[in-house]
Amino acid sequence: MLAGATILANAVVGLFFFRYWRNTRDSFFLLFAASFWIEAANRMALALVVGNELEPVFYMVRVIAYGLIVVAIVQKNRKAP
């Protein structure tokens, strides 16, 4: 049940960031939305498949999702006003 709540929370947060992206067309919000949706899919796969979250497949997907957040922050700070 906790896994379902986490999946839903990540998906909803992704939808909020997607809405912000639709309003502003800033790639920062799109990358954040993608990151949260990837994390939701990762959590769903982890809940459906018998396995450990420290297995390389699940761990690498999480690293990619968090990497998107880092890329979004770096891109936002590098842009000239």
pLDDT, one tens digit for every residue, the chain (81 residues)? 899 999 999 999 999 999 999 999 999 999 999 999 999 999 999 999 887 877 898 999 999 999 999 999 999 999 766
Total structural domains within the chain: 1
Confidence at residue 81, expressed as pLDDT on a 0 to 100 scale: 64
Question: What is the DSSP-derived secondary structure letter of residue 81?
Answer: -
What was the pLDDT predicted at 51?
Answer: 78
Instruction: Give me the residue label for tokens 């992206």.
Output: 21
DSSP class of residue 18? Answer: H
pLDDT of residue 4: 95
Query: In the prediction, which pLDDT does 76 show?
Result: 93
- What are the strands, taking DSSP E only, across the chain? none
